[in-house]
């Protein structure tokens, strides 16, 4: 029997950028796999190539070397079964919350149908923004704007969700709340998630598996399964086992910084 293809697969992926001071090796020989519906966090220091990795997985960037495939198909262009959440919500400032959420329909089909609008309202309710559809982004808090960005990514009901440090611009409390909310959404409607972060607690709370990256050149230096069952709560994070696991992650990150 044929095995189902991995949702995301990187094989020998390298990325070199031309810069004024010469070529910059952002990623070197990256191999990774995300199984369907797996929640994988990518953890690494600033500048190690996390956003580059995500752009390669999204098809927004073509690799300098190696291969990126999605559900067994080589990636050649952005796909509608992939939703992306950027670090900044990147909303259209003049468009209403609902118009921002249904923007992918407009972008793809040139128009927004009644059905699109109904679907837009539904995803807004899923991220806790019922009643805010007619507001402008500037009328919302940072956390709410980021939820609009998540709703927009969920709007086409993608199989794969790529998230680039989506909560890092938020205050600590909002950030925790958004993490639990994301877990709830993911449990209600499973998706393959690649979640980029530089926060160890965030990676541990959310992910099934954590890929640890080193900088210069960006490489995956560890691939670790989080020793926690689901559902998860604040309690789970306080166990001695999890504290040890987080300590191990910290060692991996610090050692590479110092090296
Ligand atoms: P991270 O998201 O982990 O902070 P990035 O993927 O944004 O890291 O960047 C990795 C490295 O590649 C950095 O040194 C960055 O300056 C460089 N880089 C990223 N994009 C470009 C680009 N378009 N042109 C030149 N250098 C880039
Ligand atoms: Mg980044």
The pick from 47, 61, 195, 217 for probing ligand 1's pocket by mutation, whose C-beta has the most ligand atoms within 8 angstroms, reads 47
Predicted pLDDT of residue 232: 87
Determine what percent of the chain is predicted with pLDDT higher than 90. Answer: 82
In this model, does residue 120 exceed pLDDT 80?
A: yes
Q: Is 26 in the pocket of ligand 1 (CB under 6 A)?
A: yes
Confidence of residue 78 (pLDDT cuts 50, 70, 90): confident
Q: Is 21 in the pocket of ligand 1 (CB under 6 A)?
A: no
Residue 124 tokens read as 């807004």
Q: Burial of 237 by CB count in 10 Å (0-12 exposed, 13-18 middle, 19+ buried)?
A: middle
Among the bound ligands, the one closest to the CA of 87: 2
50 CA distance to ligand 1 middle (Å)? 8
What average pLDDT is seen over the chain? 93
Which residues fall within 8 angstroms of residue 165, CB to CB, at 6 or more apart? 50, 87, 196, 197, 198
Arithmetic mean of pLDDT, 110-125: 95
Q: Is 214 in the pocket of ligand 1 (CB under 6 A)?
A: no
Arithmetic mean of pLDDT, 49-56: 96
Confidence of residue 1 (pLDDT cuts 50, 70, 90): low
Beta bridge partners of 34: 8
């Amino acid at each position: 029997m044929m095995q189902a293809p991995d949702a995301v697969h990187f094989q020998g992926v390298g990325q070199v950028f031309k810069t004024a001071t010469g070529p910059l090796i952002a990623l070197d020989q990256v191999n990774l796999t995300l199984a369907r519906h797996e929640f994988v966090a990518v953890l690494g220091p600033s500048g190690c190539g996390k956003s580059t990795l995500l752009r390669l997985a999204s098809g927004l960037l073509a690799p300098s070397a190696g291969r990126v495939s999605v559900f067994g198909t080589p990636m050649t262009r952005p796909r509608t079964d992939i939703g992306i959440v950027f670090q900044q919500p990147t909303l259209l400032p003049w468009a209403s919350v609902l118009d921002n959420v249904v923007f992918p329909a407009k972008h793809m089909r040139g128009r927004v149908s009644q059905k699109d609008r109904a679907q837009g309202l539904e995803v807004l309710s899923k991220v806790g923004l019922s009643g805010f559809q007619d507001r402008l982004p500037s009328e919302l808090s940072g956390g709410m704007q980021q939820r609009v960005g998540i709703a927009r990514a969920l709007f086409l009901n993608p199989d794969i969700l790529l998230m680039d440090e989506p909560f890092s611009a938020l205050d600590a409390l909002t950030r925790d709340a958004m993490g639990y909310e994301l877990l709830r959404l993911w449990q209600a409607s499973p998706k393959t998630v690649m979640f980029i972060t530089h926060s160890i607690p965030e990676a541990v709370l959310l992910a099934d598996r954590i890929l640890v990256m080193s900088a210069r050149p960006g490489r995956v230096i560890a691939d670790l399964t989080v020793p926690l069952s689901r559902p998860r709560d604040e309690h789970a994070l306080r166990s001695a086992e999890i504290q040890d696991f987080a300590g191990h992650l910290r060692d991996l990150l610090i050692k590479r910084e110092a090296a």
